[in-house]
Every structure is written in structure tokens, then in C-alpha cells.
Chains A and B, each alone.
Chain A
Amino acid sequence: MEDNEIKICFLEEGEQVIEEMETLLLDLEQASDKKETFDGIFRTVHNVKGSARAVGFDALGAFCHELETYLLVYKNGEQEVTREVINRLLKSRDIIAAAFNVYKKDLNAVFDFNADFGAEGSGDEEASADAGGPGLVVGKKATSSNDGSVRVNLQRVDKLINAVGELVVLDSVLRQQSIKAMEQTILKTVEQASKIIREVQDLSMSLRMVPVKPLVQKLQRISRDTSTAVEKSVDFRVVGEDLEIDKTILDSISDPLVHIVRNAIDHGIEAPEERVVQGKPVAGFLELSFSQEGGKLVIRLRDDGKGLDQQRIVAKAIEKELIKTGEGMSEQQIFDLIFAPGFSTKAAVTEVSGRGVGMDVVRTSVEALSGQIDITSKLHKGTEFTISLPLTVAIIEGMVVKTTKENFIIPFTQVSETVKITDDGLKKGSESGTLLNLRGRYLPVYSLRELLGDKKAEKKNGIGIIAKSSRVDFIVLVDDVVGQQQIVVKPLGAELAGYKRFIGSGVLGDGKPALILDLAQLADEELKRVKDVE
């Protein structure tokens, strides 16, 4: 049963990949940068291969492997890509698409990759016609299975969310007007209506959020199959599988995660004999965690394997002509090399991790989501990948605070507590800055007005927000806390993207937009400014 779900999932996702493959193939004839297009095709084939094997469509996987081998000759530029080659590749794509359609009708169908092509005719067209745009399955909860769910186009969900947002704003206007009208019956009806409107808002926003569980299941399966294939024993753990994340993010992060999980098992974790020599448990430790930190979705993959060997990476990069010398490179710069296209630390091509097409895809996908991927690694101790992604359309619980004129939003995830602050409770010094003694501990106090560039000195009365940050603890002083509300995070336009201190914006109860602050970033900028002055 579980396996079937993964298979259905794969077939749904694969549709897009096949479409992409076709577009790329068609582009190939005209493309000026043939290499890039070809690399793209190679990646799509590699993706299908990997996922097909993972979910148990072995015949499809084998077919893709053959196709990959065929492609490799052209990828390395050994032979020119002619029209006939493209025709052949398009035919192969059609075979894969046909296989998908057969599998869709019967998950356990046997598809003959040599003969079935050509036999499929009108049935294929019919099937591809109703494969619409990006959709999502709306289920009740993580536990609900396929029954009782509806596929809805994602764009329609977004339109709904926007329309409901407008409704909420109008509702608060209506409420104010009805209070003025002083008509009890109207007031009562308006009250009832707003309750329902709030409910509709909550519901509509939850539609975009999908559980990570199916992805986790897929990764568990991949972990199992990969470790079996490479004859390693792996203890794969997942933390935070109940988290719900944005559908768009989930879709885009799925393939990259498959790649890094597979890489960690194949390249990261040592063979059992070696682990024994190293004094490590025979089973390799691999932990994948999903969490929400400071307005970011953070995905971590940690292993206790052999870690990244800087010398080997440099040597390999020189051999691959990615760099001329490793001298003067920082640890981080060296680690970054593994994301370069065409880089693979394993000398031999392995069945599992393939030919080094993985890591550059991972970085491209993460960056396409305006996310970031970081590596920390210690030789013989292990490696940790940290992928942090913006929540984009996700909803946050925010605190609405007041300074000078405008209101700002501070995500609850950044706040640990709030305290009332009076001017005489503060210690001030020209060298120490402003400090507050909080239960015996001195914490620096920044006024939000100052942080936002208002240079005028003012009285330090107000509410102190104690910020939760991984770097330093500090207090941000605001004039007042106006309230708290759920906020749909809306990204700021590209024209304001340089302003890192604003995570995004949200619409307040009165319909006015407000900026969402990143307190840690603000404090960092302030500290930098102080340093620059000195």
C-alpha cells in the first residue's frame, strides 16, 4: 500500500520532468548554448532513472540508465548532436511517456520497452490531454489517504487566498462602519459574518500547505534501497516529519533531497569494515530534519561518515579544470566546489550516485527558491548540509509593533519574550551602549527607531522584545506592541530585494501593508555600522 502511494507520487511528479525533457530536446536544435541544454536533458533522464529505481519501476530505471549511457557520448562532446540523434532522443522520451501512461493505469503493469512503442496511439494523447498544469492534492490531514481528496490547480488556490485576503480587509471596514451605525441587529450579523470570514481565511491559507510525510516516505525508501545497493548499513532518522510546508517548495526541494540523501549514503558513509576500523558503529547515522527557524524553513541532513576531504576535492577540481590552484581557498570555498557542474569525488561511476550530475542540481534548485545551502564537515566525523529556504507564501504568526509612524511585523519565531522597559531601568554608557539587566544578565538594547535609521534620540520607554537569535541575544525596544495576528507572508518586489532586514510584507487588519522585520539581520547591520565608525 505504502509502495503504491510512492509510485503514484512518482508518476505525478514524473509528468513534469518528461515535459521538461521534451521542451529541452526541442530547444536543442536551436539552442545557442547546446552544452547547457544538453546538461539539462541529462539531468532529467538521471532524475527519472533515480526515482524510478527508488520506487520500484526497475525496468524504467534500466531503460533510463541505457539512455543515460547513450547520452554520455554526446554530453562530453565526443560526437556532434545531429538531427537524427535528437529524433532518437525524442522517441526515447515518448517511450518513457508511454510507460508512464501504462503504469498509471496499472501500477504493476509490465511495460516492454522494446516492443510497446508504436502500439500506443490514441490512448496516449487522451492521457496527456488531461494532465493539466501544476496541481495539488487537497487532503484533510497528513493521515488521510487518497480517498476524499480533490485535485485543484495551484493558481486557483492562490487566487482564492488573495480574494479571501481582500474579504478580510473589507470585513474590518464593514465592522467599523456598523459600529458607527449603532444598529444592534446589523452589528450582530456583521459579527457572525466576520467569524465565518476568519474561518474561510484560515482554511484557504492551509490549502497551500502540504505535509512533508510523503516526501519523507520516499526518502526512507531511497535510503533503504541505496544502502542495500552499496552494501552499507544505515540508520536513517527523520525529525519533524509532521511539518507542513508550502506545496511549491515541497515540489522543488524533493529531487535535491533525493540527491543529497543518496550521495550521503554512497559517498559520505563508509563501508562497514572501514567504520569498524574507525571505531564507529557499523550502521551509519543519517539524520534528516525539517524545522522552521526565524522565518525560514530549514532542512538539515547530517551524517557521521568520513566527511569531506579538502585535499581530494581540490585535486579533483584541478583535474576537472574547475580551478587552477587550491591555494588561498577557504574551507567553505573548497566545499563549494562540490556544487560545480561536472564535479564528482568518486573516481569510478557508481550505479547509485551516478556521474556527478547531482550536486549542481541541488544548488540550482535551492537557489531558484532564493534559498541557501551550506556545508559543514569534519574529516572522519561527518558532514552536515543545511538548506534554508524562505517561507514565501507561507503563513506566520506575527507580532505587530509600533514605532514612530508605521507599524512593523516581527515573526513570533524570532521573539522569546517581551518586557516593559522604563528609561531609568537602563544602564547607559558611551562604550558599553545601552544595556538592560534582565534577571542578572546584561543584554544590549537597540531601539527599533535607531535600527531603522531614525537618528533622533528619544526617551527609552516602551516594550522590549527579547530576540531569539542563533548568534547573540539582544533586546529591541519598540514604542508599543499593537497586537498579534496571522500573516500571509508576501514577498517584496525584486526592487526591494536588497533590503535583507525585511523578510517580506503582510497585510494588517486595517488593510494597510506592513513590513516584516528580520531582527537578527537588523542587529547584524547595526553592529557592522558601529564597527565601521570605529
Chain B
Amino acid sequence: MKDSQKFLSFIVGSESFAVPLLKVREVIGMPEVTAIPQAPAHVVGIINLRGQIITIFDLRSRLGSGTKGEQPTVIICEMPFGQMGMIVDMVSSVLSAESEQISEVPPGSRAANHDFITNIYSQEDELILMLDVEKVIGRDIKVTQATSAA
């Protein structure tokens, strides 16, 4: 039994990204969203997911793609402070990554400037950037300690 981790890969703009599958609660189609006035950057609004209110974050605009994919999809992620949804252009697949397929971000590359890109997964010609979801939203959303404990 080799050491392998599972990831959910998805597309934003023209690039592929992946998040650890353990962080993903579910994947849903684009729901109806209620906007929040003067919300933090890239926060699209709140949705009603079977009676639970979840904040939705636009990963597309955050990653600078600005695309409005034909079938945007929301990945509901487990965050340390609760659940949040991320809008992506398309969900691709679940991949089992062997440890030798995961490599460091090449220093000096564009990706190395982003602290939210943790690693690179490569298989043949395909290249997938591994995301740290908490760091991606961290720049725009400050979660106060006191309330996250509640």
C-alpha cells in the first residue's frame, strides 16, 4: 500500500487546481445567492443549503481569472471556523496522488509568489496546483478568534 492522498481537482479559468478531499464536504451546482452589502472582496453572498446558511466566496475572481463559466460549481469546504463555499468554473475529478507525483513549487515561478499554492501535482503533461483554502480566503476575510470559537 503506497502512501497516497486524495484530492478534488477543479478548473478556474484555464488552470487546474486541487484541494485535499478531506476538506470537501460536498459539491453543488450554483445556487441562488443573496448578496451581502459591503461584503469583503470576493464574497458573493450567502446561500441556503438545506436549512444551513453558508457564505460563498468567488475563487474565480480571487485567482484573477474573472471567468464566468457556463456551469459554475460550488465546492463546500470545511474550514476551521465552519463551512464555506468556493465558486469554481468546473469540477474535474478526484485524484489519488502518490507522494512522488507531488513536488515543491519551483522557486522563482509565479506560483511561488502565492503562499496559498502549497505544492504542484504532475502526471504526464498535466499540472495541477494544490491550494490551501484557508490561505486563499485569508487575505480578504479576517476571522476573529472570539467568534470562531462559538
What residues make up the interface of A, taking CB atoms closer than 8 Å to B?
Answer: 161-163, 165-166, 169, 367-370, 405-406, 452-454, 490-499, 502, 505, 507, 511-515
Contact = CB atoms under 8 A, between A and B. Distances in A.
B107 interface: no
B50 A453 contact: no
A370 B34 contact: no
A61 B3 CA distance: 56
Interface in B30-74: 32, 34-40, 43, 46-48, 50-55
B36 A496 contact: yes
Interface string B126-150: 0000000000010001111011111
A236 to B, nearest CB: 32
A513 B53 contact: yes
Which are the 5 A-B pairs with shortest beta-carbon distances?
A: A497-B147, A162-B51, A494-B81, A452-B37, A165-B51
B34 A512 contact: yes
A95 B53 CA distance: 45
A368 B149 contact: yes
Contact of B55 (A161, A165, A495, A512): A495
Main secondary structure of the interface of A (DSSP, over half): mixed
B84 A513 contact: no
Contact of B46 (A162, A166, A505): A505
B108 interface: no
A471 B137 CA distance: 37
A159 B88 CA distance: 29
Given A496-B55, A505-B53, A513 B48 contact: yes
Contacts of B32: 511-512
B83 interface: yes
A490 B150 CA distance: 13
Main secondary structure of the interface of B (DSSP, over half): mixed
B106 interface: no
A276 to B, nearest CB: 46
B129 to A, nearest CB: 23
Contacts of A367: 146
B46 A515 contact: yes
A492 B144 contact: no
A494 B39 CA distance: 13
8 contacts: A370-B150, A493-B54, A496-B39, A497-B143, A497-B144, A505-B34, A512-B34, A512-B48
Contacts of B82: 493-495
Nearest to A448: B37
Contact of A499 (B36, B48, B51, B148): B36
Contacts of A368: 149-150
Contacts of B141: 495
A10 to B, nearest CB: 27
B84 A493 contact: yes
Contact of B150 (A369, A452, A502, A505): A369
A491 B81 CA distance: 13
Contact of B143 (A453, A491, A495, A513): A495
A494 B37 CA distance: 17
B53 A492 contact: yes
A452 B35 CA distance: 12
Given A492-B46, A512-B48, A406 B55 contact: no
A512 B142 CA distance: 26
Nearest to A165: B51
B34 A514 contact: yes
Nearest to A453: B38
Interface in B92-150: 137, 141-144, 146-150
A508 to B, nearest CB: 9
A487 to B, nearest CB: 12
B29 to A, nearest CB: 15
A439 B40 CA distance: 41
Given A454-B37, A513-B34, A494 B51 contact: no
Nearest to B32: A512
Q: Which of B39, B47, B53, B54 has the most CB of A within 10 A?
A: B53
A490 B52 contact: yes
A155 to B, nearest CB: 14
B25 to A, nearest CB: 13
Contacts of A512: 32, 34, 48
Contacts of A505: 34, 46, 53
B147 A370 contact: yes
B8 to A, nearest CB: 21
A492 B38 contact: no
B31 to A, nearest CB: 9
A511 B148 CA distance: 26
Given A490-B51, A491-B53, A495-B79, 18 more contacts: A162-B50, A166-B50, A368-B150, A370-B147, A405-B35, A452-B38, A453-B38, A493-B54, A493-B81, A494-B82, A494-B144, A495-B55, A495-B137, A498-B142, A498-B144, A505-B34, A507-B51, A513-B53
